[in-house]
Structure 1
Amino acid sequence: MIRATEADRPAIEAFLTNHIATSMFPLSNLRSYGMSGGHPRAVTFWVRWLDGQITDVLTVTDEGFLFPQCPTGPWGDIKTVLAGQAYRGILGDAGQVAALRHALNWQVEPGIDDVEPLYHLSLADLQLPDCDGFALYPLADAPKETMLGWRTAYLTEVMPVPGEEPDVTAAKDIAAYLDANSHRALYRDGTPVAMTGFNAQLPQVVQIGGVYTQPEFRGQGVARRAVGLHLQEARRNGVTDAILFAASDNAARAYEAIGFNKIGAFSILVYEEPQVIHV
């Protein structure tokens, strides 16, 4: 594999777009932060070419995450080009993450080791439930302390970040959501009941992430309404497809109720301390 240059960007984007369901983070980070560094989510690419065509792409973010999109499994090549460097984790297609993890021989127990069902929805097939009494608002219009509390609870319950305090991470996340206008608060009869958002966005495709329902409102179809209304808004803005990975069986049922279909599995592997790659 060789390190890509800016001249390779169109070919990389085309290749990753052909594997869009498990490439949303790399593509969204590329679009938002570029290949020149200067932001934790700026990206570097390592590419394998064959007969002038890309066969594999490894995305590396400046904050130390690996995103393999490597159908041919060039794990030995990856070990060679990244030897001596330390990384915080691997995200992507579950089979590829497992194979790369095995090849790297990282023995330390990860802080997050999740394999979640991966879903897709064509927004033309969105099945929106009755939303009478519900309304969706930009996060900027919702009470900030409530949103901070919800995000802290989400990080504590669903996705604790190894080595970080949930309230500190929540404050960073909410600030980023406000800056990107990526998340929404769902109100029922004037009361905020849930939060939903997109953790990766492209002009035609969005990836849902960080959906949270206040505990007393769970089991009432709130999450599916929050996600459905946000996708309806995205559809009006030209988005055609949505991707997500479900953190629980209850979440999966909520997404299936509005039309999502399971297409695979997505893995999230995060370590508390960066792991060194040895040849």
Structure 2
Amino acid sequence: MIPLDASHLPQVEALLAPDRANAMFILSNLRTHGFGGDHPHGMQLGADAPTPTALLGLTNGGMVLPYLPDPDHGPAAATLLRGQALGGVAGPAAMVRPLLDALDLAAAPTILDADEPQFLLDLAAMNIPDGPGTLAPLSIAPDTAADWRAAYDGELHLGEPSPDAARADVDDCIAADSHRFVMIDGIPAAMTGFNATLPDIVQVGGVYTPPGTRGRGLARRAVALHLAEARATGVRQATLFAASDAAVACYRPLGFERIGTFALVLFDGKVTP
């Protein structure tokens, strides 16, 4: 595979645009940060050819974002990653797992190694549940948002929750205006957000309801209200990954339908293949 630069952006977008739901993180990173740069999410890209049929993204933070439609692309992609310090891999499971095998990292120690069902929703057909609550930005209660973010990471078994890291994440969310509370009687009751955004599709993430308000459908309503807000700006689709049966039960009534499987692998410390 060969390195790409900003001049290849039209070819990259031509490859990924028809499959946006499976390329959200690459496309959103490029839209937000462009090629390179010094932001942790800034990304370098490699491809099989200047007009690519396969892509491999690597962020400055060490996250690998593959778009490798043919499993046979794995060995060639692995050559670009040799000697790099890697923090994890995220993408469609059919693209991630062959790459990990090619890197000899399938058995590397991890803090998270999950294959999760992926869903897609046409927002024109979304069902918005009745119920209480209105949307508000996280800036209305950033300390609550940081506490919930730390609890969310803890429930996903992402290591010991870090208040500083959670607050930094929340600060980023506030700056990007990407997340929302659902408020009931002026008090935050649930949280939702978009982890990646494009003009016509968003990827839902960071959905959290504190234990005291679970079982009332608040997460479902939060997601629906936020998606309705996005729909009003021209967004037409939403995708997400469900980490549990409870999450699947939350999202399906909105109209989400399964389209595949997403793999998220976070190594226990950086690894160098």
Superposition TM-score, scaled by structure 2 size? 0.95
Shift of 1:95: 1.7
> Is residue 55–residue 72 contact of structure 1 (8 Å, CA) maintained in 2?
no
1:251 aligned partner: 247
SS at structure 2 position matched to 1:206 = strand
**4+ residue stretches of structure 1 with deviation over 4 A?**
none
Checking the alignment, whether the CA contact within 8 Å between 2:45 and 2:57 is kept in structure 1 is yes
Please list, as runs of the form range in 1=range in 2, the aligned pairs for 1:1-279 lying within 5 A after superposition.
1-49=1-49, 53-73=51-71, 74-106=73-105, 107-131=107-131, 133-141=132-140, 143-160=141-158, 162=159, 165-277=161-273
Q: For each residue in 1:14-56, what CA deviation from the matched residue of structure 2 results, as whole angstroms up to 9, or x when unmatched? A: 212222112111111111111132111011111113xx74210
Secondary structure of the equivalent of 2:206?
coil
Once the 2 structures are TM-superposed, how far is the Cα of residue 189 of structure 1 from its aligned partner?
2.9
Between 1:116-125 and 1:165-174, the stretch displaced more is 165-174
Q: Secondary structure at the match of 1:226?
A: helix
Q: Contact between 2:109 and 2:268, CA under 8 Å: does it hold in 1?
A: no
CA distance in structure 2 between the aligned counterparts of 1:39 and 1:112, rounded to whole angstroms: 24
SS in structure 2 at match of 1:187: strand
1:36 partner SS: coil
What 5-or-longer segments of structure 2 have no aligned partner? none
CA distance in 2, matches of 1:53, 1:18: 15
Instruction: Report the aligned-residue RMSD.
Output: 1.4
Find the aligned partners of 1:230 and 1:219 in 2 and give their Cα distance. Answer: 19
Most deviating of 77-86 and 186-195: 77-86
Mark the CA change 1:159 to 1:8 in structure 2 (over 3 Å): closer, same or farther. farther
TM-score by length of 1: 0.93
Q: Which amino acid aligns with 2:60?
A: D
Distance 1:77 1:86 in 2: 18
